[in-house]
């Protein structure tokens, strides 16, 4: 019996010396192997564990046994892509440790970044064309739908208002989409408010021809200023719009006038002499034989012959492709800024 007992003890000791140590827990770096394999053991390791914990005569208590089993758990380095418990290989679980976030799409802020295709030359050309079209449209809106690439003229009428002529002029312009600039004498507008209000309503430009049509080069500074300011006041009172342009009676000026007018002064480069000839044919010829892009054409609203001439001039200008615009519209379309104290006779 004693011999057999020593044989049993010797066999156990031999087994312990030859068996693989089960207390050396493997160190597993997460992400180094296939997902879900961390903490697995070989069949030999499991058998060795069972042999040790169940060896005859083992003196381990339950607490020490639990400590031995715990020592076999793999050591996992956190934050290297391990899956959350119960998530399998889906990668869509709660974070498993500090510094690790799973299930968040790629890209800044957790927003998935879509691949960006490079812009082709054709697409770039299309974008540039669209931007150019937008710029052209904005320019057209700021100038009342005028096309700066097409010829234009400014028809201007002095000495009004005079409804018997002015309304005929506006009727004709309305048929062809034209606009005009009316330089009016302040002392007359109070009697013809309805006509002046129609000018504004139909998009024509109301402008100042002084209060009493005095030749300003014969006046002093205070008188010049009074003629200009009172004319502006009278027109504004009649239609609600204060003029921004001035035409000097007779076009006459000197340094005193220029210094005290306080407004852009609009002259002309096509003079029909309608006030002198009172002849429609001569007025028509004076315009159509000389007109070109950017011209400012001078006529007068007082004469019936001028109304007759306009009824022939406007359709022909339209047929020739001219846009009939106000002075301010033409200046804007030509890229000109009208400044107080300066004279302008054309925009060509």
Q: How is residue 145 written in tokens?
A: 């739908």
Contact 306, 283 (CB under 8 A): yes
Q: Which of 204, 209, 253, 300 is catalytic?
A: 300
325: which strand partners?
154
300 is catalytic: yes
Q: How far is CA 115 from the centre of its chain?
A: 27
Are 297 and 270 in contact, with CB atoms under 8 Å apart?
yes
H-helix or E-strand containing 155? strand 152-160
Active site residue 158: yes
Torsion of CA 13, 16, 17, 22, to 10 degrees: -160
CB within 8 Å of 195: residues ≥ 6 apart = 160, 161, 162, 163, 166, 167
CB neighbours (10 Å) of residue 88? 12
**Taking the mean position of all CA atoms in its chain, how far away is CA 228?**
40
- Enzyme catalytic residues: 158, 300
């Amino acid at each position: 019996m004693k011999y057999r007992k020593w044989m049993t003890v010797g066999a156990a000791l031999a087994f312990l010396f030859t068996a693989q140590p089960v207390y050396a827990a493997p160190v597993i770096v997460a992400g180094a192997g296939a997902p879900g394999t961390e903490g697995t053991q070989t069949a030999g390791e499991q058998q060795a564990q069972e042999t040790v914990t169940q060896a005859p005569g083992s003196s381990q208590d339950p607490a020490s046994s639990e400590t031995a089993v715990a020592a076999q758990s793999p050591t996992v380095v956190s934050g290297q892509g391990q899956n959350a418990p119960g998530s399998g290989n889906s990668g869509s679980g709660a974070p498993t440790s500090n510094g690790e976030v799973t299930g968040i799409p790629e890209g800044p802020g957790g927003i998935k970044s879509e691949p960006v295709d490079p812009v082709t030359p054709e697409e770039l050309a299309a974008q540039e064309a669209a931007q150019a079209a937008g710029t052209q449209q904005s320019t057209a809106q700021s100038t009342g739908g005028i096309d700066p690439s097409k010829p234009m003229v400014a028809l201007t009428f002095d000495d009004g208002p005079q409804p018997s002529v002015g309304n005929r002029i506006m009727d004709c312009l309305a048929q062809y989409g034209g606009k005009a600039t009316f330089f009016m004498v302040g002392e007359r507008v109070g009697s013809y408010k309805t006509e002046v209000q129609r000018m504004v309503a139909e998009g024509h430009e109301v402008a100042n021809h002084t209060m009493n049509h005095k030749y300003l080069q014969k006046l002093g500074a205070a008188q010049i200023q009074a003629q200009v300011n009172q004319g502006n006041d009278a027109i504004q009172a009649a239609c609600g719009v204060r003029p921004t342009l001035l035409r000097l009676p007779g076009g006459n000026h000197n340094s005193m006038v220029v210094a005290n007018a306080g407004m852009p002064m609009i002259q002309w480069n096509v003079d029909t002499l309608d006030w002198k000839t009172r002849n429609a044919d001569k007025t028509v010829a004076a315009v159509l034989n000389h007109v070109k892009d950017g011209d400012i054409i001078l006529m007068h609203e007082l004469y019936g012959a001028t109304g007759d001439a306009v009824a022939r001039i406007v359709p022909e200008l339209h047929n020739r492709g001219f846009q009939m615009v106000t002075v301010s519209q033409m200046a804007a379309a030509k890229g000109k800024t009208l400044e107080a104290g300066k004279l302008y006779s054309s925009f060509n």
